[in-house]
Copies of this chain bind each other. A is one copy, B any other.
Amino acid sequence: MKKLNIGVIGYGFMGRTHSNAYRQVSKFFETEYEPVLKVACARNEERLKSFARNWGYESYETDWRRLIERDDVDAIDIAAPNNMHRDIAIAAAEAGKMVLCEKPLGRNPEESREMVQAGGKGGVPNLVWFNYRFVPAVALAKNIVQSGKLGRIFHYRANFLQDWTIDADLPQGGEGLWRLDVDAAGSGVTGDLLAHCIDTAMWINGPIASVTAMTETFIKERMHQDTGNVEKVGIDDACAFLARFANGSLAIFESTRYARGHKALYTFEINGENASITWDLHDLHRLSYFDYADDKAVRGWRSIHVSNAGGEHPYMDKWWVPGLNIGYEHSFTHGAFHFLKSLEGEEGERAFPTFADALQTDKVCAAVLESGSSRKWQEV
């Protein structure tokens, strides 16, 4: 097997999911390339060493510029906060490294556009970690829609509901909480959560043409962990928007971190002329499917446990036996698989979002945020 040497930047939540994916992918999927955990990179050396040792990285670097200079690294994986994505990605691409970047790509379309240009110039393989595409049930939903079973699509709905920031005493910024700091994150739920919903939606249902949005920051001020001062909160705590897809279907999207009772409830529903689909991250192996062609006496929403090992359920032939679940983490394993396959040349698959795809999502996010301020419909 060919080795693909990887340098991962960031040891947080995403640093862990990416490391795990690289370690696991070749145990379950056949690919020409096998990822090697070559270098871990972050600023806090003590924590970095512990992270690197735990995951079995061969070495570590505390300066990402040093990492990029290394000849023994083929691909850079960016799992650092959003405000670092652009500089790292551009430098890596210019150095001829492949780049795998956490979502969202940039903090805004301007940053993303530069990254696309850098990625495109060198022609380096690139990927953005919109991992939910790779959940088996979501991939099955894509297959069903692509097969034409739904017919003309009338409606798309997506929610990403959480409740972890209701406490007004929660600080913003710093360790573990940079997602509440607008400088580090770019935006709140829009870039963090709705970006996932939008990526999935456009993957399955095509481009979004126009939007009108409502945004809110419920807690106006929070202590900032970096400064110790109470500072204005710049992110959107909640965002809902109406949209029209290019194919004529209508949509509503909503995300919030103030929906008491929901930990990470990403759901979507698609209503077509002939069939409909719903999905829910909390029970991620279930896809609900309604087929109007069923005999009318016994027609109903089917609860599909997407765990068949016979090939008809995406990815599941590589895991255990029917009825047995895999975890959230393997959405990343599957993403890594697709990326590795794409390196195999003409035969390789490219079923993952690239920088160019992620730019489209960023544009929708920007239109949404703009509409939240302007209170007007925005074309994308």
A320 to B214, Cβ gap below 8 A?
no
User: Which B residues are in CB contact (< 8 Å) with A330?
Assistant: 327
Check if B307 sits within 8 Å of A302, measured CB to CB: no
* Contact residues of A between 263 and 291, Cβ < 8 Å to B: 263-265, 271-276, 281-291
Known: A238-B250, A325-B284. Is A263-B154 also a contact (CB below 8 A)? no
Query: In the bound complex, what is the Cα–Cα distance between A258 and B320 (angstroms)?
Result: 20
Number of contacting residues on A, CB 8 A? 93
Cα distance A161–B308 in the bound complex, in angstroms: 16
Inter-subunit contact B263/A323 (CB<8 Å): yes
Which residues of B have CB within 8 Å of A212? 212, 214, 242, 375
**A202 at interface by CB-CB < 8 Å:** no
| A82 interface contact, C-beta 8 A | no
- CB within 8 A of A325: which of B154, B163, B164, B328? B328
In Å, the complex CA distance between A75 and B290 comes to: 45
Cα-based distance from A218 to B250 in the complex (angstroms): 10
Distance to closest chain B CB from A254 (angstroms): 6
Residues in A234-274 with C-beta less than 8 Å from chain B: 238, 240-242, 244, 250, 252, 254, 256, 258-265, 271-274
Question: Nearest B residue to A371 by beta-carbon distance?
Answer: B212
Flag whether A5 is at the interface (Cβ < 8 A). no
Interface residues as binary, A301-339 with B (CB distance below 8 Å gives 1, 0 otherwise): 111110110101100000111111111111000000000
Residues on B with C-beta less than 8 A from A263 are: 305, 307-308, 321-323
A59 within 8 A of B: no
Residues of B within 8 A of A250 (CB): 214, 216, 238, 240, 256
Instruction: Give the shortest distance, in Å, between A148 (CB) and chain B (any CB).
Output: 13
Q: Tell me if A292 is interfacial: C-beta within 8 Å of chain B.
A: yes
Q: Does A124 contact B (CB under 8 A)?
A: no
CB pair A305–B300 under 8 Å, yes or no, is yes
C-alpha gap A122/B275 in the complex (Å)? 52
Q: How far is the CA of A164 from the CA of B26 in the complex (A)?
A: 29
- Taken together as a complex, chains A and B put the C-alpha atoms of A271 and B289 apart, in Å, by 22
> Which residues on the B side are within 8 Å of A286 (C-beta)?
283
Say yes or no: A303-B301 contact (C-beta < 8 A), given A55-B27, A252-B240, A330-B327.
yes
Contacts A327-B326, A329-B326 given; indicate if A271 touches B298 (C-beta within 8 A). Answer: no
Which A residues fall within an 8 A CB radius of B? Answer: 13, 16-17, 20, 23, 26-27, 54-55, 140, 143-144, 149-150, 154-155, 157, 161-164, 166, 212-214, 216, 218, 238, 240-242, 244, 250, 252, 254, 256, 258-265, 271-276, 281-292, 294, 296-305, 307-308, 310, 312-313, 319-330, 375-377
